[in-house]
Amino acid sequence: MKKFRSTILFSSLSAILALSACGGGENNEESAGDGGSSEEETVIDVSLPLGAESQQGVGVLKFGEELEALTDGRITIEPHYDNALGAEREVFEGMGTGTIDAGIISTGPMGGFIDEFLLFDLPYIFENHEHAHSFLDSEHGDELAKMVKEQQDVQVLAWMENGFRHNSNSVRPVETPADLEGIDHRTQESEVQVDTWEAFGANATPMAWDEVYTALQQGVMESQENPLPTIYDVNFYEVQDYLNLTQHVYHPAPLMMSNSLFESFSEEDQELIMEAAETALPVQREESMAQEEEYLEELQNEGMEVTEPDLDAFREAAEPVIEEWSSTVGEDLIDAARNYDYD
């Protein structure tokens, strides 16, 4: 929610009485000769699924730091970590209705609202970070952001990222899709993800993020998939023995704002908000990639057995899923993403 704090300084008690007598105190304006100042400050609440030290937290905090500096402290942010404002789907809906100011979320739940965002649930679309970043920073990313604004009344500020997702489970190492046969696997609330993991041989079930750790701990679920920094951030190594570097999906984590809130700012402040997000974007992406390397080692140190699967076998198993969903996502969009020239 947009919060306002206004402070009016008066140089004397007589000035207060004079304002009261003429009824001039309600509009927060000063009378001539008061020698004071009137300033309006705005605090933007920002929802994050992870903690302050996560790759998401680093990006959002950099955004807040830049925004405060650019506006001389008039606009600041208040981060709310670990889904304190609701699960990702709820946060996305809340930004659309104006009940939540801003947030950074995975694109997983967004495909339930905008078909084209199912692109980021399709397996083996992007080869590496440079491929994904180049595509998102092109006109294709602009068009996707336009869809979010027009269809959900949410403003995309920056294409931050979760990164490439990998499998972890408590049953066995995974070398090929056959090793997933019969394993109970958690997906995000995405039919594409369900189809993908069933094509890989697992028993796939959608589950809200805030329920996953407990489900894995209790054995209700045996398997999940996430970027390495996320796996480390939420301590999945405590309930999962095997880490399998499937690198099957690249997930953006766009930083977004309620469009009604965004448009309530002046054009100048809107530009400053976008500038702050643009400055924070490479910081967040670099942190995400750095954490991938760091936490791979840390997860091994925590006792996880790391496997590098046969990705060609996984790509082959994924092709029917891409074909099945091509008409929904858009064949042209899929082709543009897979074949985007990023060299």
Give the C-alpha separation, 86 to 296, whole Å. Answer: 29
Question: DSSP 3-state assignment of 189?
Answer: coil
Record the tokens describing residue 121, joined without a space: 């649930």
Give the C-alpha separation, 95 to 153, whole Å. Answer: 8
pLDDT at 2: 43
pLDDT in tens, 210-246: 899 999 999 999 999 999 999 998 999 999 999 999 9
Give the C-alpha separation, 99 to 110, whole Å. Answer: 17
Domain limits of the chain?
Answer: 37-338
pLDDT surpasses 70 at 25: no
pLDDT at 108: 87
- The reported pTM is 0.85
Which helix H or strand E contains 316, and what residues bound it? helix 311-329
Q: What angle do CA 284, 67, 97 make, to 5 degrees?
A: 85
Q: Are 252 and 128 in contact (CB under 8 A)?
A: no
Backbone Cα Rg of the chain: 23
- Angle between helical axes of 55-70 and 267-301 (0-180°, round to 10): 150
pLDDT in tens, 102-148: 999 999 899 999 999 999 999 999 999 999 999 999 999 999 999 99
Q: Are 304 and 245 in contact (CB under 8 A)?
A: no
CATH of 37-338 given 3.40.190.170, 1.20.120.1200, 3.30.450.40, 1.10.620.20: 3.40.190.170
CA 309 to chain centroid? 27
Give the C-alpha separation, 41 to 5, whole Å. Answer: 6
pLDDT surpasses 80 at 296: yes
